[in-house]
Amino acid sequence: MLDHEHLWAALDKVAERHQLTPSGLARRAGLDPTSFNPSKRFAADGRPRWPSTESLAKVLEVTQMTFVDFAGLQQDKTEISGTHFRSFPAYLCTSDELREVDLEDLSGFQLDKFCDSFIFPSSQSEKFFALEVSSNSFEPYYREGQILIVSPESSLRRNDHALIATKTGDLHCGPLQRQTNERIEFRRNNPDDTSRVVQVADLVWTARVLWVSQ
């Protein structure tokens, strides 16, 4: 039986396997880049929206994936149990404001203060806040005006988009290439870029980017 939540989650898994965002997967399939955005998965009145059979066929074609394999992802509910798209309250601040917060970690930040609400996938047990990008310092990954939903409690894995703060007051973000006990290394945007490496001893806190507005 097809399930709205797990069908979309399967598409997200396909994108993750190919190191793409949902927008990147749609673009690779020749679709409108916003086709698979979280905002397109529910109508304004809350009714669920489903991906079209044509869009699914194009995704399977460009990823060289069989429908049987995709259906297996849709039926695998172990990775997404307890996760739902719904409206959550979140404290909202800008990246400039976050740079001015003098904290050893985010435990003292106003994570429980209601300021706005956003629809995105999350389990109710997670703590998070909304970060509005207020400069171009997060490019090429995030542009000014985008909203990031950030969780300081989520563990980081390879290819996760991470947001970190250093003792010098700098914020760094991007896809995680490698994390050891000594350092965090971000993936290079292109082969000619210099790797961005931050020593763990220089970190104040780390957080995982759960969701990004388009």
Q: What is the CATH number of the domain that holds 162?
A: 2.10.109.10
My answer on whether 140 and 179 are in the same domain is yes
Q: Indicate whether 131 pLDDT > 80.
A: yes
Q: How many domains does the chain have?
A: 2
Least confident of 13-22, 114-123, 133-142: 114-123
Q: What is the CATH number of the domain that holds 69?
A: 1.10.260.40
My answer on whether 29 and 104 are in the same domain is no
Domain hosting 94: range is 84-212
CA distance 128 to 143: 20
My answer on whether 56 and 109 are in the same domain is no
The pLDDT, as a whole number, for residue 83 is 47
My answer on whether 92 and 69 are in the same domain is no
Give the domain-ending residue among 21, 51, 75.
75
My answer on whether 200 and 169 are in the same domain is yes
- Beta bridge partners of residue 197, listed in sequence order: 185
Give the domain-ending residue among 75, 104, 132.
75
The pLDDT, as a whole number, for residue 80 is 42
Q: Give the 3-state secondary structure of 2-16.
A: CCHHHHHHHHHHHHH
pLDDT digits (tens, 9 = 90+) for 175-195: 888 889 999 999 877 767 777
The pLDDT, as a whole number, for residue 78 is 41
My answer on whether 123 and 179 are in the same domain is yes
My answer on whether 15 and 49 are in the same domain is yes
My answer on whether 28 and 126 are in the same domain is no
Least confident of 75-84, 103-112, 121-130: 75-84
CB 42 within 8 A of CB 85: yes
CB 117 within 8 A of CB 160: no
Least confident of 19-28, 40-49, 72-81, 129-138: 72-81
My answer on whether 36 and 92 are in the same domain is no
My answer on whether 93 and 70 are in the same domain is no
- Beta bridge partners of residue 116, listed in sequence order: 90
